[in-house]
Amino acid sequence: MSIATHNLRWEAGGRLIVDGVTLNAVPGRMLGLVGPNGSGKSSLLRLIGGLRRASAGLVTLGDCDMRTLPRPAIARRIAFVAQQAATEEDVTVEDVVRLGRTPHRGPLAGWTGRDQQAVDQALMQTGLAAKRRQSWHTLSGGEKQRAQIARALAQAPTELLLDEPTNHLDVQHQLEILELVSHLPLTSIVALHDLNLAALYCDEVVVLMAGRVMAAGAPLKVLTPSLIRTVFGVAAAIGRSPIDGRPHLYLAPVAAAVQPVSEHLRQSA
Ligand SMILES: Nc1ncnc2c1ncn2[C@@H]1O[C@H](COP(=O)(O)OP(=O)(O)OP(=O)(O)O)[C@@H](O)[C@H]1O
């Protein structure tokens, strides 16, 4: 077992935001968290990453209750990429990525060849090697996102938590980043809005609604038209991609789904 939650609860503002979540991220695999806005994906990721203290329940890392682990030990294992990262400092892309090495270095330790190698590799994996000297403040939203992912990769974690890693990325980089993460030899938990990306790259998905787990399992077993309609309030159908034959989710407003195709054609004629 890698990282797991056990009946995890978190209250804020007098409301139960995470409501009894039990999940188990299988070592070496990618677990997707999907759910509507406000369903608790970011809150859950923060609890798992130890950035928030649960009101009740447990997060375990291997066999250990995470509360018993020293902060540096957690930082050496778990990397977290938030939705947005900001800094006032005038730093370069490489400076940001170098931060990923902090948990591995003692207070007086110098910068080693191994540290540099991890940074170089992370910059290359995220397509940012040519921008390493560029100021963080001049990067586009997608480049900032990739720099944060590079920082997390330089950390060489065994568990990687990503909160909507594709939200600023163009389609090519969305596919590239998820392709990369899904092939890394680590356990990842990734909050995603795009159900097709979740179906394509995640080994397992957990569907959240109002802080509760509605379903969990292999993406195509879980993301059924009926569940999608219940949780997201949209109509869904599963077809095959004409490009590679893989299953593809087609989504539409519920109102569109009750109109027969012939009616759509008549109206658009
Ligand atoms: N510190 C807080 N105090 C009060 N309410 C909070 C706090 N943090 C989050 N919430 C509320 O908890 C709910 C879940 O928020 P969260 O950001 O976890 O959802 P999400 O599924 O990640 O949403 P999105 O898809 O929009 O990013 C929201 O209704 C949010 O307003």
Give residue 85's identity as a one-letter amino acid code. Answer: A
Q: Is the CB of 40 under 6 A from ligand 1?
A: yes
pLDDT of residue 49: 93
- The whole domain housing 197 covers 3-219
- pLDDT tens per residue across span 65-94: 999 999 888 988 999 998 877 777 789 999
* Residue 266 CB coordination number (10 Å): 10
Q: How far apart are CA 8 and CA 44, in angstroms?
A: 9
Domain-embedded: residue 39: yes
Inside any domain, residue 125:
yes
In a domain, 44, yes or no: yes
> How high is the pLDDT of residue 259?
55
Question: Is 251 contained in some domain?
Answer: no
Question: Hey, which of 43, 205, 209 would you mutate to test ligand 1's pocket, going by the most ligand atoms within 8 Å of its Cβ?
Answer: 43
CATH number for the domain that contains residue 90: 3.40.50.300
Report residue 251: phi and psi, to 5°.
-125, 145
Note the pLDDT of residue 89: 76
Number of domains in the chain: 1
Compute, in angstroms, the gap from residue 262 CA to the centroid of ligand 1. 41
Q: What are phi and psi of 101, to 5 degrees?
A: -85, -10
In a domain, 230, yes or no: no
Positive or negative: CA dihedral 257, 261, 263, 265: positive
Q: Is residue 227 part of a domain?
A: no
**Is ligand 1 within 6 A of the CB of residue 43?**
yes
Establish if 130 belongs to a structural domain.
yes
Report, as an integer, the average pLDDT of 142-157.
Answer: 91
pLDDT per residue as tens digits for the range 22-31: 999 999 999 9
Q: Assess if residue 252 is contained within a domain.
A: no
Quick check: CB of 35 below 6 Å from ligand 1? yes
**Rounded-to-integer distance, Cα 256 and Cα 268, Å:** 13
pTM value is: 0.91
How much is the pLDDT for 214?
Answer: 97
Q: Which pLDDT does position 263 carry in this prediction?
A: 55
Quickly state the pLDDT bin for 162 (edges 50, 70, 90).
very high
Q: Mean of the pLDDT values across residues 172-192?
A: 91
SS3 content of the chain, % helix, strand, coil (to 5): 40, 30, 30
Task: State pLDDT tens for residues 193-210.
Answer: 999 999 999 999 999 999
- Pocket lining: 42 vs ligand 1, CB cutoff 6 Å: yes
Q: Ligand 1: distance of its center to the CA of 206 in Å?
A: 17
Does 37 contact ligand 1 (Cβ within 6 A)? yes
How far is residue 136's CA from residue 26's CA, in Å, rounded to a whole number? 34
Which stretch of 1-10, 63-72, 259-268 has the lowest confidence by average pLDDT? 259-268
Q: Is the Cβ atom of 155 under 6 angstroms away from ligand 1?
A: no
Nearest atom in ligand 1 to the alpha carbon of residue 191 is 22
